[in-house]
Amino acid sequence: MRIVYVVGTRPNFVKTAPVIAALRARLPQGRHALVHTGQHYDRLMSDVFLEELGVPAPDYMLEVGSGSHAQQTARVMERLEPVLTEERPDLVLVPGDVNSTMAAAVTAAKLGIPIGHIEAGLRSFDRTMPEELNRIVTDQLSDHLFVHSPEANDNLHAEGVPAERIHLVGNTMIDTLVALEGRFRAAGAARRLGVEPGAYVLVTLHRPALVDGPLLRQAIGQLAALAREMPVVFPVHPRTRKTMEALDPSHPGLLLSEPLGYLDFLSLLADAGAVLTDSGGIQEETTYLGIPCFTLRDNTERPITIEAGTNTLLGLDPAAIASIPARLAERRSPPEPPPLWDGHASARIADVLA
Ligand code: UD1
């Protein structure tokens, strides 16, 4: 069996690393070729992650870099097509919902190569999100849809995807978290930053709806106010950094940093008193860890994190950040993680494919 794995961004690496390991172990005679599209290319967004996750060096680097959606998508397609033509894989595996994911799926589908989609079936029902379009296209073109929650199953059924294509396997991002737990629990990132475990808010913001326009200034103002009550730690995504540099808002009291490596980030996440985010993956990681998460968006494609009781949708208006201390005071005891978020999802994918 010949498999090509296509990854491009930070969360892609986290979702795919354990799947590559499981399939290499299950199919040691097979060909396992890794393609890195280069959608994320900074050392802190890419190399550090691959090293910490123990991912072997990519066999192909497409170096597509940044650009408009059409440019980025087109570059992946143009540069991936000859790779797939040469490799002639039996399967192309793609994770998540980024431009690289959709571009790889379209390229493989047009060459008649079967596609497996890791984290299929998520829907925000908000087509203004680029990721929602990427999810819909990728799922429609995929032959094996690996889902992590019953809602994802329901979404695919509602779109007419045949049941035999859908496999409820669990969450491969949580596989990585479980595998790294001993290391990140020992990392002590909070103390290195000079904050008390359990007593700070960890913030990540990177979605265009929030960080490409005026809402970012309002969010920074709200965070500065929150920082008067508890320390606010904010590793800044390059996209967010760009707008922040242009806006030049004052941010008294915020502990800003470059993007962190995954072990340090998970260490800060596990020790946080609360998390404020617009990320999808972080809604899931906090659910597994039982940490209160406040999501600065109007919707989520991960409703299971709300049902679990860890995640609260604040809406897109940054004014809601002011309600975090009061909401924290009302909080119940941490719930159990959802079924199949147990560290073995990748092994189940390998079972299906092998
Ligand atoms: C992408 C995904 C998003 C995912 C996120 C995770 C799409 C449409 N979006 O968003 O779903 O949640 O990754 O981080 O695929 N940049 C750098 N260095 C890098 C990467 C990006 O400086 O290594 C800057 C560039 O200026 C670029 C901007 O960040 O223009 C945005 O990068 P891009 O890859 O377009 O999307 P993300 O915002 O990272």
Residue 111's alpha-carbon distances to 143, 151, 179, 231, in angstroms, are 14, 31, 35, 52
> Average model confidence (pLDDT) for the chain?
96
pLDDT value of position 245: 87
pLDDT value of position 125: 98
Q: Which atom of ligand 1 is nearest to the CA of 96?
A: 11
Q: Looking at per-residue confidence, does 35 or 336 come out higher? A: 35
Q: How far apart are CA 2 and CA 22, in angstroms?
A: 14
**For the residues 128-154, what does the mean pLDDT come to?**
98
Token pair in block for residue 293: 């998460």
Q: Count the Cβ atoms, other than its own, within 10 Å of residue 197.
A: 15
Q: Read off the pLDDT of residues 79-115 as tens digits, 9 standing for 90 and up.
A: 999 999 999 999 999 999 999 999 999 999 999 999 9
Q: Read off the pLDDT of residues 237-287 as tens digits, 9 standing for 90 and up.
A: 999 999 998 887 678 889 999 999 999 999 999 999 999 999 999 999 999
Instruction: State the pLDDT confidence band at 331, using cuts at 50, 70 and 90.
Output: confident
- Look at residue 334 and tell me whether its pLDDT is greater than 80: no
Q: Which atom of ligand 1 is nearest to the CA of 42?
A: 23
Whether the Cβ atoms of residue 136 and residue 155 lie closer than 8 Å to each other = no
> Which residue's CA is the closest to the ligand 1 atom numbered 18?
42
Distance 205 CA to ligand 1 centre (A): 12
Q: Which atom of ligand 1 is nearest to the CA of 41?
A: 23
Whether the Cβ atoms of residue 72 and residue 239 lie closer than 8 Å to each other = no
pLDDT value of position 216: 95
> Which residue's CA is the closest to the ligand 1 atom numbered 2?
98
> Which residue out of 14, 40, 262, 283 has the highest number of ligand 1 atoms within 8 Å of its CB and is therefore the one to mutate?
40
Strands (E), the chain: 2-7, 31-36, 60-61, 91-95, 115-118, 144-147, 166-168, 201-204, 232-235, 254-257, 274-277, 293-295, 311-313
Ligand 1 neighbours, Cβ below 6 Å, are: 9-11, 39-42, 45, 66, 97-99, 130-131, 206, 237-239, 242
Nearest Cα to Cα of residue 146 among 16, 237, 32, 234: 16
Q: Identify whether 206 is a catalytic site residue.
A: yes
> Which residue's CA is the closest to the ligand 1 atom numbered 19?
40
Distance 239 CA to ligand 1 centre (A): 6
Q: Which atom of ligand 1 is nearest to the CA of 44?
A: 23
Amino acid at 124: S
- Look at residue 193 and tell me whether its pLDDT is greater than 90: yes
- Look at residue 77 and tell me whether its pLDDT is greater than 90: yes
Distance 67 CA to ligand 1 centre (A): 9
Instruction: List the catalytic residue out of 40, 144, 206, 344.
Output: 206
- Look at residue 150 and tell me whether its pLDDT is greater than 90: yes
> Which residue's CA is the closest to the ligand 1 atom numbered 11?
98
> Which residue's CA is the closest to the ligand 1 atom numbered 30?
66
Q: How far apart are CA 35 and CA 328, in angstroms?
A: 42
Q: Read off the pLDDT of residues 48-75 as tens digits, 9 standing for 90 and up.
A: 999 999 999 999 999 999 999 999 999 9
- Look at residue 119 and tell me whether its pLDDT is greater than 90: yes
Q: Which atom of ligand 1 is nearest to the CA of 11?
A: 6
> Which residue's CA is the closest to the ligand 1 atom numbered 13?
9
Instruction: State the pLDDT confidence band at 295, using cuts at 50, 70 and 90.
Output: very high
Distance 123 CA to ligand 1 centre (A): 20
Task: Name, in order, each residue with C-beta under 8 angstroms of 177's C-beta and a sequence gap of 6 or more.
Answer: 266, 285, 288, 289
pLDDT value of position 251: 81
Instruction: State the pLDDT confidence band at 345, using cuts at 50, 70 and 90.
Output: very high
Distance 176 CA to ligand 1 centre (A): 22
- Look at residue 184 and tell me whether its pLDDT is greater than 80: yes
- Look at residue 320 and tell me whether its pLDDT is greater than 90: yes
Q: Read off the pLDDT of residues 5-20 as tens digits, 9 standing for 90 and up.
A: 999 999 999 999 999 9
Instruction: State the pLDDT confidence band at 335, using cuts at 50, 70 and 90.
Output: confident
pLDDT value of position 25: 97
